């Protein structure tokens, strides 16, 4: 393997978002120019400022809103109300898509093609485009099959032609990982990839020449089915749901961070900072949840009924996201207690005694 590819691969810590997203035929599709950003830079800046917020908590909040207004069945089918759709598109316009394809696929093997023609030798070279998920990113290459060249060479007209009777060459397929448990199985190339590229040329789709992560073409065309987005987002939200079984959450967490790899960045003046390379935004968000849990206390949901914000706790029993909401909630509890004098709360008793 070419070493420069590996070093390039190690810097896949960025993520992209399109200027706009639309829902079309059940998929969230990008429109407009692409911008890249560094989720870890945002994360670390917020920690430095002691803001108890992260991109992950924004996704958990989105899920809470969707679950509050949709049935399980509709979320599984990706059947959102116009309001729900607007919430999802708004999130994507800020952070991009979750990256479920590069997250779940382990290997992509495309159909064999003529990759070079050598007219003088009257031979063609046959190769297969292959992508592998490696620590924190994807490596793509064209694997050439020189032994195949001599056998089929003359029958193949020119570059880009599909090799039909591929005989002993690897069959096109995707090794696809389960999002919940992490086990992997081989699935049909088209069945796995087609839903993620509704905007791709029909000819490319028919030939099985899908963009590999994170080629330019991939970034341009990559879309995500609404149903898949909702399922994965809910999966992430379960990591911070304290009512769920601890063992189950542990298994889910492992499946979500399976492709994530540590990396470091050296800034000016020789300052080293850590960051994590991830094949998907979903993996990055799951890693943020783990770090938040380890660095402080598990994430909580603000107990003031008008807020419901998801936040990183400073203390294990912290119930409110900020002092303002703690105070507001206690004032409204007090007023509520005054209206129902039969059940005075401890606060109202104390306040009455002061008067
Ligand atoms: Zn709050």
Percent of the chain with pLDDT over 70: 83
pLDDT at 156: 53
CA of 88 to the centre of ligand 1 (A): 22
Token pair 């509890």 is found at 333
Domain definitions of the chain by residue range: 8-99+226-299, 103-214
- Predicted TM-score of the model (pTM): 0.81
pLDDT > 50? residue 91: yes
Residues near 311 by beta carbon (within 8 Å), at least 6 away in sequence: 52, 53, 57, 299, 300, 301, 302, 321, 322
Q: Which two tokens stand for residue 339?
A: 């209206």
Averaged pLDDT for residues 171-191:
91
CB 184 within 8 A of CB 104: no
pLDDT > 80? residue 272: no
pLDDT per residue over 16-52, tens digit each?
999 999 999 999 999 999 999 988 887 877 766 666 6
Look at 57-61, 98-102, 243-247 and tell me which has the smallest mean pLDDT: 243-247
Preceding omega of 71 cis (within 30 degrees of 0): no
Q: What's phi and psi for 244, nearest 5 deg? A: -90, 160
CA of 94 to the centre of ligand 1 (A): 22
The residue with greater pLDDT, 53 or 305, is: 305
pLDDT > 60? residue 244: yes
CA of 311 to the centre of ligand 1 (A): 8
pLDDT > 90? residue 93: yes
CB 274 within 8 A of CB 264: yes
Q: Which two tokens stand for residue 140?
A: 């793509």
Look at 107-121, 159-173, 318-332, 336-350 and tell me which has the smallest mean pLDDT: 336-350
Residue count of the chain: 355
What confidence category does residue 146 fall into, taking pLDDT thresholds of 50, 70 and 90?
A: confident
CA of 329 to the centre of ligand 1 (A): 9
CA of 304 to the centre of ligand 1 (A): 6
CA of 65 to the centre of ligand 1 (A): 15
The residue with greater pLDDT, 308 or 260, is: 260
CA of 314 to the centre of ligand 1 (A): 14
2 by Cβ neighbours in 10 Å (0-12 / 13-18 / 19+) ranks as: exposed
CA of 301 to the centre of ligand 1 (A): 8
pLDDT at 255: 87
């Amino acid at each position: 393997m070419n070493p420069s590819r590996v070093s390039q691969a190690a810097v896949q810590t960025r993520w992209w978002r399109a200027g706009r997203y639309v829902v079309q035929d059940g998929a969230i599709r990008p429109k407009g120019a692409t911008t890249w950003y560094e989720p870890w830079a945002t994360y670390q800046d917020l920690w430095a400022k002691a803001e108890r917020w992260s991109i992950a908590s924004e996704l958990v909040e989105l899920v809470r809103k969707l679950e509050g207004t949709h049935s399980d069945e509709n979320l599984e089918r990706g059947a959102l109300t116009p309001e729900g759709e607007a919430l999802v598109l708004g999130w994507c316009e800020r952070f991009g898509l979750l990256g479920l394809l590069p997250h779940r696929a382990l290997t992509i093997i495309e159909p064999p093609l003529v990759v070079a023609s050598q007219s003088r030798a009257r031979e063609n070279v046959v190769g297969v485009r292959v992508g592998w998920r490696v620590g924190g990113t994807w490596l793509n290459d064209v694997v050439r099959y020189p032994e195949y060249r001599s056998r089929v060479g003359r029958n193949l007209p020119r570059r880009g032609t599909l090799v039909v009777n591929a005989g002993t060459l690897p069959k096109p397929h995707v090794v696809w990982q389960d999002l919940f448990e992490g086990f992997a199985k081989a699935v049909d190339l088209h069945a796995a990839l087609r839903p993620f590229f509704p905007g791709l040329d029909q000819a490319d789709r028919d030939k099985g020449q899908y963009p590999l992560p994170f080629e330019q073409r991939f970034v341009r065309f990559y879309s995500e089915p609404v149903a898949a987005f909702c399922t994965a987002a809910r999966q992430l939200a379960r990591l911070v749901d304290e009512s769920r079984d601890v063992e189950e959450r542990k298994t889910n967490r492992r499946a979500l961070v399976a492709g994530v790899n540590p990396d470091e960045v050296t800034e000016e003046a020789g300052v080293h900072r850590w960051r994590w390379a991830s094949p998907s935004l979903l993996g990055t968000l799951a890693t943020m949840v783990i770090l938040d849990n380890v660095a402080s206390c598990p994430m909580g949901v603000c107990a003031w009924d008008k807020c419901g914000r998801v936040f990183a706790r400073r203390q294990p029993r912290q119930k409110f996201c900020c002092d303002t909401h703690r105070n507001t909630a206690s004032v409204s509890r007090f007023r509520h207690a005054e209206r129902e004098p039969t059940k005075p709360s401890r606060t109202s008793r104390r306040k009455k005694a002061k008067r």
